[in-house]
Amino acid sequence: MTTIRTELQEQAKSAILQYAILRWESAVVVAMTVVLFFLLRRPFAWWPPFGWPLLGLIALLVLAYSSLNDPETNARVLRDLFQEQFNPRQVRDKELREDVESALEYQRRIETEIQKQRAGLIRDRMEETANQITTWLSNIYQLALRVDAYRADDLLVREREVLPKELERLTAQRKAESNVTVQKQLDDVIAGKGKHWQTLRDLDARMKQAALQLEQSLTALATVYSQIQLIDAQSVGSGQAERLQSDINEQVARLNDLVVSINEVYDYSSKGL
């Protein structure tokens, strides 16, 4: 199944190859190959005319291979792609932006740990874990964006101030009104505004919950990073890896449910404004 992480990994391979071609060592190899080809084409009698270009090509292939298999390079390129996918600069609130940056940093370090592992069962399990963490990170980012939009929404701020006063005024008007038709109209207006006021309070409660959940998720992500560093062949056999994946799945599901519920309440509230 294609995930955000597998798509980014494919992009990372192309980016790493470009990095390998453009790195300064590659430039030196190309320059030396050209110089030696023209100034010292055949240093030995048995040296073939294409000897320097062949050695230069081999050196470039070695550089490309080392780049593709270097844990730090892979993690750095993936980090840059994740930064584009989950851009913290899109989050205006300083506190929320720092939360996203912290989540990205944990993700980068986890990727580095995975890249250090040799191919095998442990690496496969950690790859599965990393895919789950990417979904987790996506939910954290979506939640941060939604809370950020909520905090910056001046219309919601104005509605919170105005609605209670309007309800108080309309209720007083309803008590003083003697006309039955007008009373019915006032009842409908009061019921609609009351429902909208309740929706706004529900939204406020969800957003407070979301902010707390973000903090809890970052703490849980830090714990996962620590646990990943301790995973070895023995822990895989003991079921520690499965428990770790189960904990991550729980975090992902919890955040996903919260994002969905907030979107529903927020969209309904926006329609009512």
* pLDDT more than 70, % of the chain: 89
Task: Enter the pTM of the model.
Answer: 0.67
In a domain, 65, yes or no: no
Domain assignment present for 43 = no
Q: How far is the C-alpha of 201 from the C-alpha of 229, rounded, in Å?
A: 43
- Parent domain of 266: 121-272
Over range 14-25, report the average pLDDT.
Answer: 76
Residue 3 lies in a domain: no
Q: Mean of the per-residue pLDDT values for the chain?
A: 82
Q: What is the mean pLDDT of residues 254-263?
A: 79
Number of domains in the chain: 1
**Residue 167, domain member (yes or no):** yes
Once rounded to an integer, what is the mean pLDDT over residues 93-105? 91
What is residue 85's predicted lDDT score, i.e. its pLDDT?
A: 84
Q: pLDDT digits over 105-155, tens only?
A: 888 888 777 777 776 677 777 777 778 888 888 889 988 998 998 899 898
Tell me, yes or no, whether 234 lies in a domain: yes
Strands (E), the chain: none
Question: 64-72: long-range contacts (C-beta < 8 A, 24 or more apart)?
Answer: 64/17, 64/20, 64/21, 66/20, 67/16, 67/17, 67/19, 67/20, 67/23, 68/13, 68/16, 68/17, 68/20, 71/112, 71/115, 71/116, 72/112, 72/115
Distance CA 217, CA 211 (A): 10
Does any domain span residue 32?
A: no
| Residue 6 belongs to some domain of the structure | no
Band the pLDDT of 175: cuts 50, 70, 90: very high
Q: Is residue 191 part of a domain?
A: yes
